[in-house]
Chains A and B, each alone.
Chain A
Amino acid sequence: MTSSRTSRLPLVGWRVPHVVLSLWTLIVPLVVIWVVASAVSNLLPAASIDLGYALATLIIVVAMWSFIGNSGVLSFGHLAFVAVGAWTMSLLTINPSVKSSIMPELAPFLAHASANPYAALLIAGVAGGVTALVSGFALMRLHGLEAGIATFALLMLVLQVLTYWSAVGPKSGQSMTGVPRSFDLQSTLVIALIVVVLAWGYGQSRSARMLRASRENAQAAPASGINITWHRIIAFAISGALAGVGGAMWAQTNRVVQASQFGLDFTFTTIAMLVVGGMLSVWGAVVGSLLISALNHVLGLLENGMHIGAVVISLPSGSRLVVVAAFMVIILIFRPAGITGGREVTWPFRPPDPFLRRGPADPGRDEQEMVMFQTDSGRVG
């Protein structure tokens, strides 16, 4: 990316307006998602089931980005909001008669509630956002790393409640079946694109900018009068709402919903997507989730045994996660800022305004070099 910036001659002589430069960081990811989704559904119809999952997961990862990418605070708890969204969607769209038979102890207002898919999707988002807002008051006051670890507590709390509380779901550990497929691939794609637009739009907001300022310099931000905690809570709530939408989309794709599905494996997969792509940019979230979804699809085929000519390749089941985990660790070691370097897509036609050059999200490579020791066993002071 750096080389293209400096080596290409400007194609356009006039100054590119700011708006174009920043819209560019939105349009490219949208076009890429649209092209990939259309290509897969037209050229590889067999992969269209996995495409549905990929788009739902993309929504979840972009939702996670809107918190992690802007605040620089890790979250292992976003699957809690995904689970809440999936639950809401299922409870509102499962046929009431089916609902009463698989969930006999459901609270009356939930037993009677139902909504059309779009309303259900919105309510799922609200439910995820409210859960995030409430828990954010406790979690977001912690220091960065501690906040990240404490989000595990949130995830476990929500999963335990959803597993055992039969007033809000099936009997302990059982699953909700019969979730209708409410959206076809085309509408799933459109919803995914809308979520990317929303997440990107939040990233442009004043609140998100302040949060990023605090991420780069935790000492300076409070000195300049920024209340980090408050902006973190806002980010957490917004990303919780988007994650709720992601959970709803995932539920109607999978059609069976169970609390244990939203555990550490799923958490890990989404984190790995973010890390591989580069957790500091929307572009990174998009690239990472599409790439890992594709990798997962191929590995899934291999696990089932794939014929290449006369040879049958088959991997033991469970090797998907092994490969993804190994891939992520290798990326962390050799390219800690992710494939995109944590940068947004840059305008390719002209060396842009130097103030915009680094985009909203620079991985801070420089600081890393500064504190690195010369020797191999070195570390930060």
Chain B
Amino acid sequence: MIPVIQSLIDATSAGAVYALAALGIGLVFGVLRLANFANGEIITGAAYALILVWPLSWPLALAASVVVAIALSLLMDLAVFRWMRSQSAASLLIASFGVSILLQRAYEGIFGVNVRTGAVAPALTRSVNVGGLRLSMLAIVAIILAAVLLIAVHFFLTKSRMGLQVQAAAANFREARILGIRSGVMIAVTLGMSGILAAAVAFVLTTQSGAVNPTFGVQATLFGLIGAVIGGLNRIGGALVGGFAVGFALSLFTTWLPSGFGDFRVALVYLLVIVVLLIAPNGIFAGRTAKERT
């Protein structure tokens, strides 16, 4: 019984991380119609900031990772996506793939091909014993961090004036502009939020691995993107749940696959995704939403 609970907690924490990644992707897609593959390199950038600055000062490292993530997010829009607003979502996706590859090579050039190691938040790598349960501090922190961010995003979107405007821009960008909602501000706010979410993902992942390399963020982003698709890319809540499901499944496979099959955990997650798509071709939460994006 106890190992089951332990693995469920681990899976929840892994799910929470990928839910954050998918949420960032879903928010940006809602407003900009950009399924941003280069979100991975935003995570990687924040991860480098954490690993390199942490030895100097941890508050500075946290601040630096958030600043780097937001800056990268805004800069790639300014340099590339801003000039493609009238183009199709497919073109934007391809462009973001290009930006992703370009940044990976840039990181290689700046930080080297090899892994950079460093302890981020070493205090969190310990485990605590609660009534026979050995709980990883990091798993708990990840769950709390994700919960806080999700609640914050939810309140921002539904309760604040600006959040309401972001929602309107996501539902129908042109109509929002005709109402006087400032498109530039909405885009910047959304990109900023996705930057913060990417920094949070980077924090959990670097604490876990204590290492970063130029392709560090790719897997989280692939899982996030694919999670967003199976949840329904058009619906922010759907993306969130899709991301969570992918992370949750991956963690359970890691724990429970018999030895010899452990190598196939990632393959199994992707297989599961394809099976889900066979059963629910429009994403788990689609159907209700299709009408509204015109």
Using CB atoms and an 8 Å cutoff, list the residues of chain A in contact with chain B: 72, 74, 76, 135, 137-139, 141-146, 148-150, 152-154, 156-157, 160-161, 163-165, 172, 264-265, 268, 271-272, 275, 316, 318-319, 321-322, 325-326, 328-329, 332-333, 336, 368, 371-373, 377-381
CB–CB A378/B264 < 8 A: no
CB–CB B270/A160 < 8 A: yes
Instruction: Determine the distance from Cα of A377 to Cα of B91 in the docked complex, in whole angstroms.
Output: 17
Q: Given contacts A145-B93, A379-B173, list 17 more A-B pairs with CB under 8 A.
A: A74-B90, A142-B229, A146-B229, A146-B282, A148-B93, A164-B264, A268-B98, A318-B108, A319-B105, A322-B106, A332-B87, A336-B91, A372-B86, A373-B85, A380-B33, A380-B85, A381-B294
Q: Pick from A153, A172, A336, A368 the residue with the most CB of B within 10 Å.
A: A153
Instruction: Determine the distance from Cα of A43 to Cα of B180 in the docked complex, in whole angstroms.
Output: 63
Q: Kindly identify, within residues 236 to 294 of chain B, every residue whose CB is under 8 Å from any CB belonging to chain A.
A: 263-264, 266-267, 270-271, 273-275, 277-278, 281-283, 294
Point out the residue from B89, B233, B270 that lies within 8 Å of A153, measured CB to CB: B270
Instruction: Determine the distance from Cα of A55 to Cα of B86 in the docked complex, in whole angstroms.
Output: 35
Point out the residue from A72, A272, A275, A333 that lies within 8 Å of B83, measured CB to CB: A333
B 157-179 to A, binary, CB cutoff 8 A, 1 in contact else 0: 00000000000000011110000
Could you say which residues of chain B place their CB within 8 Å of the CB of A322?
102, 105-106
Point out the residue from A150, A157, A164, A318 that lies within 8 Å of B271, measured CB to CB: A157
Task: Give me 17 A-to-B residue pairs in the complex whose CB atoms sit less than 8 angstroms apart, sorted by A's number.
Answer: A74-B94, A138-B274, A150-B226, A152-B222, A161-B267, A164-B267, A264-B101, A268-B101, A318-B105, A321-B105, A325-B99, A325-B105, A372-B86, A373-B85, A373-B86, A377-B82, A380-B33
Nearest chain A CB to B28's CB is how many angstroms away?
14
Q: Is the interface of A mostly helix, strand, loop or mixed?
A: helix
CB–CB A321/B225 < 8 A: no
Which of chain B's residues has its CB closest to A372's CB? B86
Could you say which residues of chain A place their CB within 8 Å of the CB of B82?
377
Point out the residue from A144, A157, A268, A378 that lies within 8 Å of B86, measured CB to CB: A378
Nearest chain A CB to B184's CB is how many angstroms away?
6
CB–CB A145/B109 < 8 A: no
Point out the residue from A148, A161, A164, A379 that lies within 8 Å of B183, measured CB to CB: A379
Nearest chain B CB to A139's CB is how many angstroms away?
7
Instruction: Determine the distance from Cα of A318 to Cα of B104 in the docked complex, in whole angstroms.
Output: 10
CB–CB A329/B105 < 8 A: no
Could you say which residues of chain B place their CB within 8 Å of the CB of A172?
263
Whether a CB of chain A sits under 8 angstroms from the CB of B148 is no
CB–CB B102/A154 < 8 A: no
Whether a CB of chain A sits under 8 angstroms from the CB of B43 is no
Could you say which residues of chain A place their CB within 8 Å of the CB of B102?
321-322, 325-326, 329
9 tightest A-B CB contacts, nearest first = A381-B174, A160-B267, A379-B85, A141-B281, A157-B270, A164-B263, A325-B102, A372-B86, A138-B278
Whether a CB of chain A sits under 8 angstroms from the CB of B95 is yes
Which of chain A's residues has its CB closest to B271's CB? A157
Whether a CB of chain A sits under 8 angstroms from the CB of B19 is no
Could you say which residues of chain B place their CB within 8 Å of the CB of A379?
33, 85-86, 173-174, 183
Could you say which residues of chain A place their CB within 8 Å of the CB of B175?
381
CB–CB A139/B266 < 8 A: no
Nearest chain B CB to A327's CB is how many angstroms away?
9
Point out the residue from A153, A164, A318, A321 that lies within 8 Å of B274, measured CB to CB: A153
B 78-119 to A, binary, CB cutoff 8 A, 1 in contact else 0: 001011111101110111011101100110110000000000
CB–CB A144/B33 < 8 A: no
Which of chain A's residues has its CB closest to B222's CB? A152
Whether a CB of chain A sits under 8 angstroms from the CB of B138 is no
- From known contacts A322-B105, A325-B102, infer whether A142 and B86 are also in contact, taking CB-CB under 8 Å: no
Could you say which residues of chain B place their CB within 8 Å of the CB of A146?
229, 233, 282-283
Q: Pick from B222, B273, B281 the residue with the most CB of A within 10 Å.
A: B281
Instruction: Determine the distance from Cα of A165 to Cα of B274 in the docked complex, in whole angstroms.
Output: 19
Could you say which residues of chain B place their CB within 8 Å of the CB of A329?
80, 95, 98-99, 102
Whether a CB of chain A sits under 8 angstroms from the CB of B35 is yes
CB–CB B109/A318 < 8 A: yes
Could you say which residues of chain B place their CB within 8 Å of the CB of A373?
85-86, 174
Could you say which residues of chain B place their CB within 8 Å of the CB of A164?
263-264, 267
CB–CB B86/A150 < 8 A: no
Nearest chain B CB to A270's CB is how many angstroms away?
11
Nearest chain B CB to A134's CB is how many angstroms away?
10
CB–CB B90/A144 < 8 A: yes
Whether a CB of chain A sits under 8 angstroms from the CB of B16 is no
- From known contacts A156-B266, A332-B87, A378-B86, infer whether A142 and B98 are also in contact, taking CB-CB under 8 Å: no
Whether a CB of chain A sits under 8 angstroms from the CB of B20 is no
CB–CB B173/A380 < 8 A: yes
Q: Pick from B86, B98, B263, B266 the residue with the most CB of A within 10 Å.
A: B98
CB–CB A148/B101 < 8 A: no
Whether a CB of chain A sits under 8 angstroms from the CB of B11 is no
Which of chain B's residues has its CB closest to A379's CB? B85
Instruction: Determine the distance from Cα of A265 to Cα of B101 in the docked complex, in whole angstroms.
Output: 7
Could you say which residues of chain A place their CB within 8 Å of the CB of B89?
145
Nearest chain A CB to B270's CB is how many angstroms away?
4
- From known contacts A322-B102, A322-B105, A379-B173, infer whether A149 and B225 are also in contact, taking CB-CB under 8 Å: yes
Whether a CB of chain A sits under 8 angstroms from the CB of B62 is no
CB–CB B86/A275 < 8 A: no
Could you say which residues of chain A place their CB within 8 Å of the CB of B233?
145-146, 149
CB–CB A328/B277 < 8 A: no
Whether a CB of chain A sits under 8 angstroms from the CB of B218 is yes
CB–CB B97/A142 < 8 A: no
CB–CB A325/B98 < 8 A: yes
Which of chain A's residues has its CB closest to B263's CB? A164
CB–CB A148/B277 < 8 A: no
CB–CB A137/B278 < 8 A: yes
Instruction: Determine the distance from Cα of A329 to Cα of B84 in the docked complex, in whole angstroms.
Output: 10
- From known contacts A145-B89, A380-B85, A381-B174, infer whether A156 and B222 are also in contact, taking CB-CB under 8 Å: yes
